[in-house]
Structure 1
């Protein structure tokens, strides 16, 4: 993590922050330190190190205060930019205001920098709060008006959009929007089920979106009463899945595959004509779990290296598998070594996939937004476990039963299930 260190005491790592090390170390430690102490406790200890005086020499104290203020502002700029969720804690905001007050009398340039960082933080927090409020309103509307999936008022998906390209583009808008709101710290916080910040997180909401899309696919295929109509819907979703692959949207691709693999769909033998079966198997093989999803990982790697810039390339990973990978990294070895030191190699291994996710999260979706389709995807009723349609109740099932996980891999899903998330 820092200068090829393998391990160090927590106190030594915190003290290293006093020197404001290279940016990767700062990010890695800010991300993984929460496995050992809360962000507010880390902030308090770092502030004390940077701003402490007491040498007895007034000139030396002034120099140290000046240098400490500059390093602290650099660190706070990095912290507020990378981990805005941490500052939902009012104690963190209070400390940030205290730092600004200290810096005001020390260095005008550092004061400007921390004020700009605070302004950006406030805007980011406002965006997050607005999203959470909109999400709460949406859930409230759905709870008050639980229209039945079999309602006569429900129009089939093809009457609303019969173009798989446009539909895949709208799925990509939702994926990128939801990815952009996930903070890197949510991954490490999710390692501890008891952590209240795990509940209702953007990370959990994203996994629920995957489950919703899978169920929506199955619902739409089950709704038509005539075989020829079901055949058209199956063909449509296969085309949408192919378009998602072409875009680089692996999460929607896998959600569609999971939805079309549900018992109620796979039993519709007459709906699966030879052409549909062949094309679907091709996509299914790409996302096959054999050899730890080797085909998917190869395609993901190739897709990640095809665009000229980070913002131009769209790479949306199969998110539940990404979570599983990070969770297994956490479970596979101890965070502390027998001597009590922090295992830095493990923390760096955890940080790598999260840092890659943050690069993918920067993508700008170039497609036109179709509000009608987006509304359909987010609000259209789907069949749930409580739905009275017994012949279709199997639509909702754990995705890990579809992924055919081994016993060892299955254990890694226990944590996600404890959070109320299906994989």
Structure 2
């Protein structure tokens, strides 16, 4: 539609600096149930915020507001309830249900409503796995497209794009299930017949750069399927100012976020397993050196999550491109967006290593920062108004993530290496202890007793 506002590529709705929150200023000005400070919305009633989301003939909400409100609103209201309210406001305010309504008026407002729905379905597509959401969407778009071929085509394109996204998500979840099943089967074989599993990662691929590239493929793929709303839904708790009916208690689980965290844990245990498996000390040392090289290549690429997964079980070791092993200073900053990157930016030599401009942050730190920020700031003010000042900042952090996950991996896939990384057998914590003792031998009576106890327990599970 020529007269529909165009949505630019999503590169972070807040720009480079975000909003000036003026946290220590308290003077506010009210406007229709919304309160502003220095032209920035800082609080408002839920109803007023919903009204602020709905376009009119002479108003369309800012993209930063749309993203922030759709992200945070699920703390107070189900997405399907919000969609129902938005649809009701659109129909009633713009008289879309009136067959005698001015067609010119409808033609002016329809592109704006369709744009809002397009931004919702594009950025928060997973909300529409709920049949109630789809039903409301179909009812509203039917009213907009009725009798106008131009709008009908736009609605069809939006709906098809949404269905494609949801179909790809279902296929991804199915693939994850198959990968997990294969890994479980191979672990069963490893427990029953350790000698039958002689192959290791080095036998599959001896090039650290190739392994780092394939790790980056896995990281970026799993990042790409995490919906921004999962960062909020992971921490949803009952709002004491809401009743049971309005509390968002049956929210969709943050399954893609959880799958990404599980991948980090799997990689950590895979590295430890690979190191403990060889019988000869010389071979174990070679495997350790190999993973140090892989970690360094991950650093060079900008894949800090894989880097941390590889070395997280080596508490007294850190890595940098100039030296494989150094005494351990703090490895990452408190900044969720940068992690190791701020140190690299201080040196033109190190900066030149980021050829592909990939930034995959240490995800556990990023999640932790969001969690503590959420816990440290109230969702509502004492007046009962939504503390929108908090949600501008929360959305800024999630917007950074949206930028990271849009990066396409520039490396070619190596199916053999990917399959190994995703499905190779991985020891549990107890099994790693036993394997470690059997490789090096316990050094004292306490370690001997622990080894015997763990070994007996593990054998009884086989």
Cα deviation, residue 197, structure 1: 4.7
Alignment match, 2:52 = 16
Counterparts in 2 of 1:54 and 1:358: CA distance versus 1, 3 Å: closer
Shift of 1:256: 0.8
Q: Partners in 2 of 1:192 and 1:124 — Cα distance?
A: 25
TM-score (norm 1): 0.80
| 2:358 matched residue in structure 1 | 314
Q: Which residue of 2 is the match for residue 405 of structure 1? A: none
Shift of residue 175, structure 1, vs aligned partner: 0.3
User: Do 2:94 and 2:106's aligned partners in 1 also have CA atoms closer than 8 Å?
Assistant: no
1:51 aligns with 2:96: no
The offset of 1:96, in angstroms, is 1.7
Alpha-carbon spacing, 1:151–1:72, altered in 2? closer, same or farther (3 Å)? farther
Mapped to 1, the partners of 2:415 and 2:336 lie a distance apart of 37
| Structure 1 residues 152 and 53, CA gap change in structure 2 (3 angstroms) | closer
Distance 1:173 1:314, change over 3 A: same
Question: SS of the residue aligned with 1:148?
Answer: helix
Conservation of the 8 A alpha-carbon contact between 1:18 and 1:71: no
| Preserved CA contact (<8 Å) 2:182 2:423 | no
Give 2:110's aligned residue: 69
2-structure distance, mates of 1:57, 1:123? 33
Task: Work out whether residues 272 and 432 of structure 2, in 8 Å CA contact, stay in contact via their aligned partners in 1.
Answer: no
Match of residue 227 from structure 1: 281
**1:122 matched to 2:167:** no
- Cα gap change, 1:260/1:151 in structure 2, threshold over 3 Å: closer, same or farther? farther
Would the aligned equivalents of 2:128 and 2:134 in 1 still touch at CA under 8 Å?
yes
The more displaced of 187-196 and 94-103 is 187-196
Q: Which moved more, 1:49-58 or 1:4-13?
A: 49-58
Does the 8 Å CA contact 1:218/1:260 hold for their aligned counterparts? no
Report the equivalent of 2:178.
137
Q: What is residue 290 of structure 2 aligned with on the other side?
A: 236
Partners of 2:233 and 2:161 lie apart in 1 by: 24
CA 1:389–1:259 in 2, change beyond 3 Å: closer, same or farther?
A: closer
Task: Tell me, in whole angstroms, the C-alpha distance in 1 between the residues paired with 2:411 and 2:94.
Answer: 59
Offset, 1:187: 0.5
Tell me which structure has the larger Cα radius of gyration. Answer: 2
Q: 1:275-314 residue pairs with structure 2 within 5 A? A: 279-281=324-326, 285=329, 287-288=331-332, 296=340, 298-299=342-343, 313-314=357-358
- Matched-pair contact (CA < 8 Å) for 2:183–2:422: no
Partners of 2:190 and 2:433 in 1: CA distance:
10
3-state SS of the aligned residue for 1:100? helix
**Secondary structure of 2:360 counterpart:** coil
How do 1:382-421 and structure 2 match up within 5 A? 382-385=426-429, 387=431, 390=434, 392=436
The CA RMSD measured in Å over matched residues stands at 3.4
Aligned to 1:412: none
Write the deviation string for residues 48-101 of structure 1: whole angstroms up to 9, x where unpaired: 111115989986665554444332211110011101111111111122221221
Q: Give the alignment partner of residue 268 of structure 2, picking from 170, 189, 214.
A: 214
TM-score relative to the length of structure 2: 0.74
Give the structure 1 partner of residue 377 of structure 2: 333
Q: Confirm or deny: 8 A CA contact 1:207 1:320 kept in the other structure.
A: yes
- Distance verdict in 2 for CA 1:40–1:198, change over 3 Å: closer
* Equivalent of 1:182 in 226, 238, 244: 226
Q: 2:401 aligns with which of 357, 380, 386?
A: 357
Instruction: Give, in whole Å, the separation in 1 of the partners of 2:337 and 2:72.
Output: 27
Return the offset for 1:295.
Answer: 6.5
- Structure 1 alignment gaps of length 5 or more: 267-271, 394-423
Unaligned runs of 5+ in 2: 1-18, 20-35, 239-248, 438-462
Aligned length: 379
- Structure richer in helix, relative to its length: 1
* Corresponding residue SS for 2:190: coil
1:346 counterpart SS class? helix
Equivalent of 1:256, from 310, 323, 345? 310
CA contact (8 A) 1:286 1:296 kept: no
Matches within 5 A, 1:163-174: 163-174=207-218
